[in-house]
Amino acid sequence: MANDEFTSIRQWTVRSAGQEGDGLRVGIGDDAAVFAVAKGMEIVACCDAMIETIHFLRETMNAEDIGYKAMISNISDVAAMGGYPRYALISIGVPPHWTVDECERIYTGLYEAADKYGVRIIGGDTVATPDALHLSVTVLGEVEAGKAIRRSAAKQGELVFVTGTLGGSAAGLHMLLDARTPGRNLASGFEELRLLHQRPEAQVAAARLLIRCPGIGACNDVSDGLASELWEIAEASGVSVYIEQDRLPILPLVAAYAHTVGADPVDWVLYGGEDYQLVGTVAERDAAELQAAFHQQGLPFAVIGRVKQGPPAVWMDTEAGQKALAKAGYNHFQRS
Amino acid sequence: MANDEFTSIRQWTVRSAGQEGDGLRVGIGDDAAVFAVAKGMEIVACCDAMIETIHFLRETMNAEDIGYKAMISNISDVAAMGGYPRYALISIGVPPHWTVDECERIYTGLYEAADKYGVRIIGGDTVATPDALHLSVTVLGEVEAGKAIRRSAAKQGELVFVTGTLGGSAAGLHMLLDARTPGRNLASGFEELRLLHQRPEAQVAAARLLIRCPGIGACNDVSDGLASELWEIAEASGVSVYIEQDRLPILPLVAAYAHTVGADPVDWVLYGGEDYQLVGTVAERDAAELQAAFHQQGLPFAVIGRVKQGPPAVWMDTEAGQKALAKAGYNHFQRS
């Protein structure tokens, strides 16, 4: 890409100049952005990168999807703390084989997710890179002072919940990878699984219910697979986590696709990742009220297990008895 | 790099776990970091990336220098708004030809700069990348509410100042590139120019004096060369900027090296960049007091020109008369 094309991308990315207001004092177009923080709130900050060939393949993700998902994965991290997102900074490295049009489509996806979740893009950096596209997003949010939900806060006796179905992103990826074989299309009748992989959603509304629940314990977002997320909670909190296989929420379409291709959907739930649901723990006395609050807002909520005293570990009750779950998460396309 | 080596890097980067306190509620080790903002302050946020072969070559920058400079360039952006830095998030993409040891040395440089400027590294992402190393740093700082210094605030009649000498980074790079020729060493007697390129400093102390000055106008940090920075101020503020060539602060060592290699040091000042001094404008009535405040703290301060009414442009008085300065900045190793 020539330098004047870079200038074109840079100019395109500042379409939100003149965006000041509602707490934003200085938006894109200065050395740094400046914003005020609402009274009684603290800042939540996170940063996740997506790299071509490592986190996605061009065959499985459209340019818009890459932008959308990079933004969602960060908004999801803010949600995992109980917060809501406010601002984003975008660092993008563009190699020669990506066109200006494709870069603009990445930004279309970034803005689509940002607009949907009330996030303003306030800065970043657009640079050339020699080989793989990389996209690093920082999202800044707000959370009530002293109330952020930590993964280290799970306590013995609490129930384990998730805020929606799991395994769908891995099912969609399986289908998209399968369709790369020459002469093959997306599996007939399962095409919409694609969206579970390419267009995941962040659970901000759920996060805001969790933070108002007095009995809330720990929380993680499911970016690396349920087993890995529960392990993080178990280790950070010093507890054992027990879940029941037959309580895992799996979409019928995901189960049907798994059956068709001879895969086990439970593996996708445990080790797939990128579903961006929240998994957490809550005091038993508050669980029914929390569940009712979710249902009132039309949000799913499923109790899948319990926190117990014991060394950090994750166990699952299956038809064949109790099984220790490995700590492994999904490694995308990472080289070994 | 194998996956277990990645785990090693990831663990190494969380050496600052248990870093909570002084406003930091949740540090590295959860889905996101959480911090409180001091009363009466707003957040300053910026993000800059450094890419191997584009922004640096391994022959001209040691691993520690890469980390140090990536942190400094962001701290400098916070300083350019008049703020001071508090927190950083690091996104690093590591290709196979970089060793774990080299990555740890990058972090050594990041922490060295962070510690020097009171910055805590509170999060980020460590990922594999297929080719070039990339390092994207987000720095979050604080600035007095409503007081951030904008580049659009230059007004007719103000004086133009810089907070230190310019052109040194470009001189150092010239020397380092020259020494790449087989059989050549760093130019004798000029070795310390190297540090001006590899170990620049951010002008946070200067920024804090500027923000207390009632007559402060606009400010930028010199990341892309003086001409480019002044053009940004001229365009954002709708003014003409006039500077005088014989007032440009240039280190004697830089001038001597330029003489030795037959280069013009003024070109390095105008189009070199990465000096990370602040360039700004100040009301004439407050300039003397501001200069005195700088000198009291042992900080350099040089008036180099004046803001005038007129269309956005940058002019320089030279021995040969008045010259319009091109808008161009330095393009590093960027492909054309």
CATH of the domain at B44: 3.30.1330.10
Closest CA to B299 of B290, B308, B307: B290
Whether residue A335 lies within 8 A of chain B, CB to CB, comes out as: yes
Strand partners for B182: none
Give the residue-averaged pLDDT of A41-60: 93
Beta-carbon separation of B45 and A335 below 8 A: no
**Which of the four pLDDT bands, split at 50, 70 and 90, describes residue B45?**
very high
Beta-carbon separation of A89 and B138 below 8 A: yes
Q: Are residues A314 and A184 in the same domain?
A: yes
Residue of A nearest to B131 (CA): A131
Contact A305, A255 (CB under 8 A): no
Beta-carbon separation of B45 and A54 below 8 A: no
Q: Which domain holds residue A39?
A: 3-144
User: Do the domain assignments include residue B204?
Assistant: yes
Query: How far A91 CA sits from the closest chain B CA (Å)?
Result: 7
User: Do the domain assignments include residue B67?
Assistant: yes
Q: Are residues A172 and A269 in the same domain?
A: yes
Q: Which residues of chain A have a CB within 8 Å of the CB of B130?
A: 51-54, 131-132
Whether residue B257 lies within 8 A of chain A, CB to CB, comes out as: no
pLDDT at position B336: 33
**Which of the four pLDDT bands, split at 50, 70 and 90, describes residue B70?**
very high
Q: Nearest 5°: CA angle at A164, between A162 and A169? A: 110
Residue of A nearest to B77 (CA): A31
pLDDT at position A131: 85
**Which of the four pLDDT bands, split at 50, 70 and 90, describes residue A7?**
low
Q: Are residues B69 and B9 in the same domain?
A: yes
| CATH number of the structural domain spanning residue B292 | 3.90.650.10
Q: Are residues A21 and A127 in the same domain?
A: yes
Contact A275, A169 (CB under 8 A): yes
Contact A159, A303 (CB under 8 A): yes
Q: How many Cβ pairs closer than 8 A exist between chain A and B?
A: 224
Q: Are residues B134 and B277 in the same domain?
A: no
Beta-carbon separation of B34 and A151 below 8 A: no
Task: State how far the Cα of A333 lies from the Cα of B130, in Å rounded to an integer.
Answer: 11
pLDDT at position A4: 59
Q: Are residues A196 and A132 in the same domain?
A: no
Q: Which residues of chain A have a CB within 8 Å of the CB of B51?
A: 93, 127-130
User: Do the domain assignments include residue B329?
Assistant: no
Among the residue ranges A54-68, B270-284, B285-299, the one predicted with the least confidence is: A54-68
Share of chain A above pLDDT 70, in %: 92
Beta-carbon separation of B89 and A138 below 8 A: yes
Window 144-203 of A, Cβ < 8 Å to B: 145-146, 148, 150-152
**Which of the four pLDDT bands, split at 50, 70 and 90, describes residue B332?**
very low
A6, A28, A47, A223, best to mutate vs chain B, most B CBs in 10 Å: A47
pLDDT at position A336: 33
User: Do the domain assignments include residue B330?
Assistant: no
Looking at the partner chain, which of B52, B87, B96 has a beta carbon nearest the beta carbon of A45? Answer: B87
**Which of the four pLDDT bands, split at 50, 70 and 90, describes residue A181?**
confident
Task: State how far the Cα of A13 lies from the Cα of B59, in Å rounded to an integer.
Answer: 33
User: Do the domain assignments include residue B127?
Assistant: yes
Beta-carbon separation of A335 and B52 below 8 A: no
Task: State how far the Cα of B30 lies from the Cα of A81, in Å rounded to an integer.
Answer: 8
Point out the domain boundary residue: A144, A164, A183. A144
Q: Nearest 5°: CA angle at A93, between A87 and A97? A: 135
Q: Are residues B162 and B126 in the same domain?
A: no
Q: Which residues of chain A have a CB within 8 Å of the CB of B238?
A: none
Beta-carbon separation of B46 and A33 below 8 A: yes
Closest CA to B123 of A83, A197, A206, A49: A49
Name the more confident of A203 and A17: A203
Whether residue A328 lies within 8 A of chain B, CB to CB, comes out as: no
B128 has pLDDT over 60: yes
Beta-carbon separation of B80 and A31 below 8 A: yes
Point out the domain boundary residue: B144, B170, B198. B144
Q: Which residues of chain A have a CB within 8 Å of the CB of B336?
A: 2-3
Whether residue B67 lies within 8 A of chain A, CB to CB, comes out as: no
Amino acid code (one letter) for B276: Y
Whether residue B237 lies within 8 A of chain A, CB to CB, comes out as: no
A335 has pLDDT over 90: no
Interface ipTM: 0.92
Whether residue A309 lies within 8 A of chain B, CB to CB, comes out as: no
Residue of B nearest to A237 (CA): B30
Q: Are residues B132 and B213 in the same domain?
A: no
Among the residue ranges A43-57, A276-290, A293-307, B79-93, the one predicted with the least confidence is: A43-57
- Tell me: the pLDDT tens digits for A95-150? 999 999 999 999 999 999 999 999 999 999 999 998 899 999 999 999 999 999 99
Q: Are residues A162 and A202 in the same domain?
A: yes
Window 3-22 of A, Cβ < 8 Å to B: 3, 6
**Which of the four pLDDT bands, split at 50, 70 and 90, describes residue A332?**
very low
Sheet holding A41-51, edge to edge: A120-128, A84-94, A134-144, A41-51, B33-35, B24-26
Window 284-303 of B, Cβ < 8 Å to A: none
Q: Are residues B311 and B176 in the same domain?
A: yes
Whether residue B73 lies within 8 A of chain A, CB to CB, comes out as: no
**What is the maximum alpha-carbon separation in chain A?**
63
Whether residue A46 lies within 8 A of chain B, CB to CB, comes out as: yes
Q: Are residues A176 and A222 in the same domain?
A: yes
The average confidence (pLDDT) of chain B is 92
pLDDT at position A186: 86
User: Do the domain assignments include residue A220?
Assistant: yes
Q: Which residues of chain A have a CB within 8 Å of the CB of B129?
A: 51, 54, 131-132, 134
Beta-carbon separation of B34 and A148 below 8 A: yes
Q: Are residues A123 and A219 in the same domain?
A: no
Point out the domain boundary residue: B115, B144, B173. B144
User: Do the domain assignments include residue B86?
Assistant: yes
Whether residue A96 lies within 8 A of chain B, CB to CB, comes out as: yes
Whether residue A129 lies within 8 A of chain B, CB to CB, comes out as: yes
User: Do the domain assignments include residue A25?
Assistant: yes
Closest CA to B75 of B132, B119, B136: B119
Whether residue B33 lies within 8 A of chain A, CB to CB, comes out as: yes
Q: Which helix (H) or strand (E) holds A217?
A: strand A216-221
Among the residue ranges A168-177, A239-248, B47-56, the one predicted with the least confidence is: B47-56
Beta-carbon separation of B51 and A122 below 8 A: no
**Which of the four pLDDT bands, split at 50, 70 and 90, describes residue A184?**
confident
Beta-carbon separation of A33 and B44 below 8 A: yes
Domain count, chain A: 2
Contact B328, B227 (CB under 8 A): yes
pLDDT at position B131: 85
